[in-house]
Structure 1
Amino acid sequence: MGGVAGSGITYGYKVAGDGGWETGLRWYPQRVLVDPYAPLLSGRRVFGQRDPVEQFRPKEGSQFLGTFDFDSPAFDWGPGEASRSRHALKDLVIYEMPVRSFTASPSSQLPEGQRGTFLGLANKV
C-alpha cells in the first residue's frame, strides 16, 4: 500500500465556500467533517457512551472521523444463496428504520444492555 498503514488511520475534510443560512450552504471551515462515504467511522466505540476518540465538546458536538481497515479479512456473506436474494429487485420491499429509536426505550422490554442495538432489534424481530 505504498507505506500507508492498512488500518488505524483516521481522516476528515475541511470545507470552505460561499453561502449562508439563506442558501442552505452552511460552511464552518474550522470544523473537520466526516466523509459521508467513509467505509468505517472512528469515535464512540460503545453505543451511547462518549469516549476520548470522539472529542465531544459542549455546543460543538462530537468529532467523528472516517477510517478504513484493509488489514482484516472481508466479510464473508456465506455460500451461494445467502449472499443474494432470490427475488428480483422490483419485487422487494425494503424498510428502513433507526435501530436506536426502535429499541432504546424501556418500553421495548429489552434488557438494558440490548436497548438501542442491533442485538436488541434482532431479539424484537
Structure 2
Amino acid sequence: MRGSSIMAEGEESVELKFRVYDGTDIAHHTYASSTTVATLKERLVAEWPHDKTHIPKSVNDVKLIYAGRVLENNKTLAESRIPFGDLPGGVITMHVVVQPPLARKKTDKNQDEKPKQNLCSCTIL
C-alpha cells in the first residue's frame, strides 16, 4: 500500500478483507482510519488474482460496497463510517464489484438506442 499501512501513533485501525464476485477474499490486512477508499482500490487492483474472469484495469473499474453503500474514492475509512475498535469476529468484509467504464457506457448507450415501446393497450367497448 506504498507506506499507507504505517499508522500514526494512537490512530485507530481496522482489519478488512474484500470479497469478490465468486466468494474469494483478497487483500486481508489491517488499515488505518485515515486510509482513503481510493488507496484501498489501488491495493485491490495491484493484488487482484489473475486467474479471475473479471480483472479490473484501474481503480475506476472497482466499486467497494459496505453495509449496502458504495464507498466514495475521496473519503477515508473514518469518513465512510467504518466501525473501529474491538469488533465481534474482528474482521470487516467489504464487497468488491468490477465494472469497467466501457461496460457502463455500452449499457447506457443501449438504453438510449432502444425505441420506446408503448406497453399500454386500451380497448374501448
Structure having the larger proportion of residues in strand: 2
Q: Please report the TM-score for the alignment, with normalisation by the length of structure 2.
A: 0.23
Q: Please report the TM-score for the alignment, with normalisation by the length of structure 1.
A: 0.23
